[in-house]
Copies of this chain bind each other. A is one copy, B any other.
């Protein structure tokens, strides 16, 4: 490594790659369904894993509960998500997709899969898997050293 460049700095590279690769897909769910990033993630979790409450989404998706609260309100207003009271603990709200939400999820999940494949086109399958494994490690609860807690 001769001279250290911004193009050699992993956080910068990751940020640029994340921005570039997100742009087109984000434009799709925005233009087609009026969703923002958190909305799409919440919708995805409910579609992929079935009904759950806000805390469960928060734990699975690493999204703060305040963001989930706002996304759920929006998704409910759009008719994508239905809320049901929990008889055992009335603080909890069971969330699930409506038929319309399910249709949006089916469309978006299929497109996400195709979009992902297109991004990785040209990489041997083994390298693609290795890349994702490294990214999962980097995305884990630590920076260059110690742990971090969800604020």
Number of interface residues of A (CB under 8 A): 54
* Residues on B with beta carbons closer than 8 Å to the beta carbon of A50: none
Is the CB–CB distance between B119 and A25 below 8 Å?
Answer: no
A132: B residues at CB distance < 8 A: 8, 10, 13
* Interface of A (DSSP majority class): helix
Q: Is the CB of A148 within 8 A of B20?
A: yes
The docked-state distance in angstroms from the alpha carbon of A109 to that of B3 is: 10
Scoring A21, A61, A141 by chain B CB atoms within 10 A of each residue's CB, the highest score goes to A21
Q: Which residues of A are in contact with B by a Cβ distance under 8 Å?
A: 3-25, 41, 44-45, 48, 61-62, 109, 112-113, 115-116, 118-120, 123, 127, 130-132, 134-136, 138-145, 148
